[in-house]
């Protein structure tokens, strides 16, 4: 079982701890890094001190936006998989990515890119572009209006902007149709895009909406992340979450999973 770089998991609410341990159990051969505010600030100062990112991170009051900056910066340099602490995984990361994928994420219901679950190779064009789009956001450029999503959140909007910018450059004939298959080739990239959609919770026996979700009064747990026209791979929030922050509003929401998958020990 991989270990965190510090003991931060013990400070999380118990339901969140259970969810994180579930993700770890699904991916026993992955090394794991825990990046809170202090670790992210040190990382940005070490690797991005020539950019505006350290100052943007330090001055950002919203925790989720600090997480947006940190995850993009680490993934852009090192690659790996990222998931928010409240995402409940059904598939292991290996199955999510397959053998050839170089970038994966999900379309959200509002047409943006759900950056709560991402995977990428190191030095990905998509992640490098995402850093540019984050800088554009902080400069006040109208990213949302330019790319047509109704989302007002920095991470999903800039992730969509990055996806559209890279596909326009490297595979201009590729249309980003949500209903098509999850995987497509874009120049040197192999992209997998999943889709967030409402769960079939009007059916009490549906396995995608088990009893804990079916009986939860909070509508936020009634969404899933799917292969387009295919099976469910994850839920954006764990089943007994009761609010949009899933008990994490005052805590760092970033858990960065793995640089590369390590080989099983003999």
Q: What is the pLDDT of residues 165-218, one digit of tens each?
A: 999 999 998 887 655 557 899 999 999 999 999 999 987 789 999 999 999 999
Residue 219, sorted as left (phi over 0), alpha (psi -120 to 50) or beta, turns out to be alpha
* The predicted structure's pLDDT at residue 249: 57
Q: Is 41 helix (H, G, I), strand (E, B) or coil?
A: helix
Of 135, 134, 164, the closest CA to residue 149 belongs to: 164
Per-residue pLDDT tens digits for 220-229: 999 999 998 8
In this predicted model, what pLDDT tens digit does every residue of 41-64 receive, in sequence order? 999 999 999 999 999 999 998 888
CB 225 within 8 A of CB 236: yes
In this predicted structure, the answer to whether residue 143 has a pLDDT above a threshold of 90 is: no
Q: Helices 125-138 & 63-78, crossing angle to 10 degrees?
A: 150
Show the tokens assigned to 47: 């690797």
Highest mean predicted confidence (pLDDT) among 111-120, 145-154, 176-185: 111-120
241, 220 Cβ separation under 8 angstroms = yes
pLDDT at site 76 = 96
More confident residue, 254 or 153: 153
189-198 vs 103-107, strand pairing mode: parallel
> Could you identify the residue written with the tokens 């409402």?
198
CA distances from 19 to 1, 231, 250 (A): 15, 21, 18
Round to whole Å and give the CA distance between 116 and 255.
Answer: 10
**What is the pTM for the complete model shown?**
0.88
pLDDT in tens, 60-106: 988 889 989 999 999 999 999 998 888 999 999 999 998 899 999 99
Q: Tell me which H or E stretch contains 198.
A: strand 189-198
Q: Phi, psi at residue 146, to the nearest 5°?
A: -70, -30
Length of the chain: 266
Alpha helices in the chain (DSSP H): 14-26, 37-47, 53-59, 63-78, 93-97, 125-138, 143-147, 154-170, 211-214
Predicted pLDDT at 145: 67
CA distance 249 to 265: 38
Strand 232-235 relative to strand 88-89, pairing: antiparallel
The helix or strand, by DSSP H or E, that contains position 219, with its residue range, turns out to be: none
Percent of the chain scoring above 90 in pLDDT: 60
Smallest Cα–Cα separation from 236: which of 12, 19, 18?
19
């Amino acid at each position: 079982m991989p270990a965190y770089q510090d003991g931060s998991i013990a400070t999380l609410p118990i339901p969140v701890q259970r969810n994180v341990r579930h993700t770890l159990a699904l991916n026993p051969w992955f090394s794991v890094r825990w990046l809170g505010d202090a670790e992210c600030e040190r990382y940005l100062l070490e690797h991005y001190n020539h950019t505006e990112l350290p100052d943007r991170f330090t001055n950002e009051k919203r925790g989720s936006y600090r997480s947006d900056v940190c995850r993009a910066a680490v993934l852009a340099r090192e690659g790996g998989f990222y998931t928010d602490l409240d995402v409940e995984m059904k598939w292991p990361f290996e199955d999510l990515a397959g053998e050839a994928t170089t970038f994966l994420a999900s379309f959200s219901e509002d047409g943006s890119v759900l950056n709560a679950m991402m995977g990428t190779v190191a030095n990905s064009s998509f992640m490098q572009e995402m850093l540019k789009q984050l800088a554009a956001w902080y400069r006040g450029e109208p990213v949302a209006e330019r790319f047509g999503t109704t989302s007002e959140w920095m991470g999903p909007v800039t992730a969509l902007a990055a996806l559209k910018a890279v596909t326009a450059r490297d595979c201009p004939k590729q249309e980003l149709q949500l209903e098509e298959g999850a995987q497509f080739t874009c120049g040197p990239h192999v992209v997998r895009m999943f889709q967030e959609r409402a769960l079939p919770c009007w059916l009490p026996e549906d396995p995608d909406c088990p009893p804990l979700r079916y009986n939860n009064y909070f509508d936020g747990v009634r969404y899933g992340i799917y292969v387009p026209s295919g099976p469910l791979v994850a839920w954006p929030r764990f089943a007994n979450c009761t609010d949009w922050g899933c008990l994490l509003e005052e805590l760092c929401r970033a858990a960065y999973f793995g640089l590369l998958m390590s080989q099983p020990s003999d």
